[in-house]
Structure 1
Amino acid sequence: MAKETEEITAQDCDPLEDTKVSTKDVEALPEVNEDKVLDVYGNDEEHSIRYKTMSWVKCGVVMIAETIALGVLSLPSVLLTVGMVPGIILIIGLGVIATYTGYNLGLFRLNHPTVCNMADAGEILWGPFGKYLLGAGQVIFLVFICGSHCLTGAIAMNTLTDSATCKVVWSLVTGIVSFFLTLPRTLDRISYLSFVSAASILTSVLITIIGTGVESTPNGAPSNPDIIVKSFQSTSFYNAFSAVTDIIFAYAGHLAFFNFMAEMKNPREYPKALYLLQAADVTIYTLAGALIYKFTGQYTLSPSISSMSIILRKVTYGIAIPTILVAGVINGHVAAKFIFTRIFRGSRHLHEHTVIGWGTWIGLCALAWIIAWIISEVIPVFNDLLGLVASLFASQFTYGLSGYFWLFDNYGKWRRHPILTVINLLVFGLGLTILGLGMYASVKSIIVSYQTGQAGTPFSCS
């Protein structure tokens, strides 16, 4: 495929000067001379702690472990709400868009090689205000995701132990184990856990598909039910869009992609990692959603593990524990790394084994998981609030901002790339639409939870 690119040049007078690139297609990222620019990690080949060590395969597996978690098993309930055909179209369509927006992040990072996280990108867009806005948004969203993994771990352990102890205890245990797994300083070390996590989620999904298929009666259904899978369901707009946000959240790994690129040996190979991720998640989401919904029909529960017998539920949750832990660990690691690099940017504590460096790193990891555990237990409507946070930030990190990044880098050149200009304007508009409608659906869900008495109580064992 033919490409039109502008030559990437390093500014001799200022090695931190942004380079520019423009392209008409998305087949391959252009080359950039990384030696001429300095990101937060600098040239770390001679240091004790080296960050730029991930291959594209390891990066892809880390992205899979961070993005694909047990949330995939909520997608069959989306099809129950919106119908089989519309649900599959939404899963595939939003996945294709997420692939393009993920590629745009790679282009932006090569145009601005000093970018290592969303705060760095925000600073390029809008100065100090953008740095603090996107930095705060990234950390808040990551900590909430960690909190959701504390709760998921508690649900899994309650199922495995027949509620042997209070849910609060199990969520605390999940947080403590996750804290210790977060301690490796580089994503390359975390990547080994990610291989286990990827195998865990694939096996869990496969067991759920087979289990719901072979069991004659889904959990919660009457004996010998007449299961009818409908192509369309009559539902309210609020319920329908609430279901769609589950799909959007399933693709919400983009907020950490800059961090992953910054720790790759060769960031130009990032598209390979992205395509590995997107091929995996679109395929798994589509097959899991369609097949499990076909087998459970109107008796579909969320997560779909609940649709199986207690024995299969225990088996599946047991196998899913690595995914529950590692997916949260990666998010906790990225949150702690963001603050850590802000504190020690340009300092020897970033690259050497010092007491101050390790003490600060351990403290930040502990702080991330303590806050995550507390907010998950204190907030009565945590899941609804998580949906609100996802609407605020996932809508932009995964969709809207990507279009804005491209428009920013190609300002003044839009007429030369009319098709891509229209596409990125639509992507930016999609992000704003998801933001508005997602907040509406989440706020209404919070109101309904209080009105119907479904809101929990702080530190509840139920």
Structure 2
Amino acid sequence: MAMHDTSPNLNSTGSQKDKTPAVPPQDVFSYEAAEVSFVGVSWQGAAILITKFQIGLGVLSLPSTFHVLGFFPGLLCFVVLALMTGISGYVCGNARLYYPQLHNIGDAAELLFGRGARELIGVIYYVYLALVSGAAMLTTSVALNTLSDHGFCTTGFVGFICAVAFLMGTGFRSLEKVSWLGWVGVTGIILSVWTVAIACLVQDRPTAAPSAGPVDLDIRALPNTTFPQAMSAISNQLFAVGASGTFFSISAEMKQPELFTRSLICGQSFIIITDIIIASIVYGKVGQYLASPALGSAGLLIKKISYGIALPGLIVTAVLYSHIAGKYCFVRILRGTPDLQSNTVKHWTVWIGSMLLTATLGFIMVGVVPFFDDFLSLVGALLNPVLTNIIPGLMILFYVAERPTKYNSGIPRDTVAAAMDARHWLLRALDGFRRGWKTSVVIAMAAFIILTGAIIIVAGTYATVVNIQVSYAAGDVSTVFTCADDS
């Protein structure tokens, strides 16, 4: 890609490189006629996918974070995290306008630090997707246990959802075909959480409160908690809006990726507003008598109704995350080969195998980690910051250093090594302070995003592990692969 910097291209020893013809990196998917087309998502479809990837499991645990952090600090913390992930989503979704070879966040890591980083971040990304898919299976088992009055073994319910996620996720190979599921999923989740919110508003006293006498909701304007509990709550909040790492994959299958920002504004704004309103209503009316997940906060009848409405949305969450994870493996294996977009035996073998591996991994993770809030906190603390803070923040610095232009043909092959040299572009990024206050603000913002992510990784993971240990010691956690009722 042509850069604004016109200085000679130097290698690590300072000598000028031999000039070779620039061969631009190719888009991972062909826009020309192919047996299998992966480029067909409209900007509206992208908006609903963004909404569905962001809203789902996180909103169900958000009210409890207000109780732990205090309402006002909790609300402020959520808004800050939502704005940061919105910036990260903008960086991730629009990256292909500068570097069309990017398909996922692993490719972005390769651009920053080389092939080793691609494999490391790629594994983190894949495990994150499989974990969220597993969490959706776990939540769906709660719904099925609630609706059936524990009519079947919980592990059996999880296995059933695992099979559904595998079959549906495998049946649709492109996000264009899957995007319609997003409408179903978003509608189901929104209607269910509003059902609970309205029920909480009209009830005289929380269902879990004592049946007689005064009720102390223990509404906390300010925090009254321990450090591990606070960091666990912050990790939960990040999980609620932490899907921005998937936006590479959404943008990669858009018909007009230049419209991604429009999709992001529509989806992210809707998510933030909805989450704040729902969490505020439920916490304000239920207080310390919150259920986990929050759909159980308004009594058994409303719980069954809300889970019945939410069930399609919970299944769609498992399907979408399984699909994106399977697509990562699929593209990683077949990228650059004719089999990627051809109906060959190898194509179908890799695709089905990738989906089967993902669904199975999600099932195993759910069986081994049978708890909800701490499970989301662990994912939010250990993996989310890498995908929503660290890599996007470093990409911002990379843009400051390289100053790429949109719609160009990409970085020439003979300069990829130099572009990936972290020592060079990091120093050039820091030198950007000399360009004026606007660039300085961008650098400071990137540094804040990276630092916040690093703090959450260290402190949030420690806090979540402590909370899990406490839960096990208190006997609040069931055994692995249990048949016990989790509703």
Please name the residue that 1:115 is paired with: 102
- Are 1:13 and 2:21 counterparts? yes
TM-score (norm 2): 0.85
Q: Secondary structure at the match of 1:449?
A: helix
Is 1:451 aligned with 2:473?
yes
1:107 is displaced (CA, Å) by 4.5
1:150–1:174 CA contact under 8 A, matched in 2: yes
Which segment is superposed worse, 388-397 or 222-231?
222-231
Q: Assess, with a 3 A threshold, how the Cα gap between structure 1 residues 409 and 442 changes in structure 2: closer, same or farther.
A: same
Q: Which amino acid aligns with 1:176?
A: A
Percent identity, please: 31
1:194 maps to 2:182: yes
Give the structure 2 partner of residue 40 of structure 1: 28
Alpha-carbon distance in 1 for matches of 2:121, 2:375:
19
Would you say how many aligned residue pairs link Structure 1 and Structure 2?
A: 434
Cα distance in 2 between the residues matched to 1:456 and 1:182 = 30
Q: 1:280 aligns with which of 266, 270, 276?
A: 270
Please give the residue correspondences for 1:422-461 in structure 2 after superposition, counting only pairs within 5 Å: 422-461=444-483
Query: Contact 1:118/1:134 (CA < 8 Å) preserved in 2?
Result: yes
Does residue 1:239 correspond to 2:229, yes or no? yes
Which residue is equivalent to 2:55? 68
1:168–1:377 CA contact under 8 A, matched in 2: yes
- Please state how far the C-alpha of 1:342 moved relative to its aligned partner: 1.8
Q: Which residue of the partner structure matches residue 325 of structure 1? A: 315
Match of 2:154 in 1: 167
- Distance apart, 1:222 and its partner CA: 0.8
Whole-angstrom distance in 2 between the partners of 1:244 and 1:76? 12
Q: CA deviation at 1:440?
A: 1.2
Residue aligning to 1:30:
none
Deviation at 1:216, TM superposition (A): 2.0
2:85–2:388 contact (8 Å) kept in structure 1: yes
Does 1:178 find its partner at 2:165?
yes
**Corresponding letter in the other structure for 1:160:** L
Asked if 1:105 corresponds to 2:92, the answer is yes
Deviations 1:380-428 (CA, angstroms, capped at 9, x unpaired): 6686455334312201211222111111222225122111111111111
- Map 1:349-360 onto structure 2 (within 5 A): 349-360=339-350
- Pick the aligned partner of 2:441 from 410, 419, 440: 419
> Which blocks of at least 5 consecutive residues in structure 2 are unaligned?
6-18, 402-427
Residues 375, 382 of structure 1: 8 Å contact kept: no
Aligned to 2:80: 93
Aligned AA (2:330): F
Write the distance in 2 (CA, Å) between the matches of 1:350 and 1:45. 13
Q: Contact (CA 8 Å) 2:144, 2:150: kept in 1 or not? A: yes
- Provide, for residues 65-90 of structure 1, a one-character-per-residue CA deviation record: whole Å limited to 9, x for no partner: 11100320211111111222112212
Name the SS of the counterpart of 1:44 in structure 2.
coil
Q: How does 1:189-228 map to 2 (within 5 A)?
A: 189-224=177-212, 225-228=214-217
1:315-336 Cα distance to aligned partner (Å, 9 max, x none): 1101111211111211111111
Tell me which amino acid in the other structure corresponds to 2:335.
Answer: R
User: Does the CA-based 8 Å contact 1:220-1:299 persist in structure 2?
Assistant: yes
Q: Structure 2: how far apart are the matches of 1:134 and 1:431?
A: 15
Q: Measured at CA, do residues 203 and 443 of structure 1 come closer, stay the same or move farther in structure 2, by a change above 3 Å?
A: same
Deviating more after overlay: 238-247 vs 444-453:
444-453
Structure 1 length-normalised TM: 0.89
Cα distance in 2 for residues equivalent to 1:267 and 1:439? 35
Deviations 1:99-154 (A, max 9, x none): 11211223433222101011111111111210111100011111111111111111
Task: Describe the SS at the equivalent of 1:410.
Answer: helix
Q: Secondary structure at the match of 2:39?
A: coil
Q: What is the Cα deviation at residue 188 of structure 1?
A: 0.5
Give the whole-Å Cα distance in 2 for the aligned partners of 1:433 and 1:118.
21
Is the CA contact 1:108–1:409 (under 8 Å) kept in the aligned structure 2? no
The 1:295/1:386 distance shift into structure 2, 3 A limit, reads closer
User: Which residue pairs with 1:374 in the alignment?
Assistant: 364
Moved more, 71-80 or 448-457: 448-457
**C-alpha deviations, 1:343-376, integer Å up to 9, x for none?**
2122232212223312321222122111211221
The reply on whether 1:127 has 2:117 as its aligned counterpart is no
- RMSD, matched Cα: 2.0
CA contact (8 A) 1:344 1:350 kept: yes
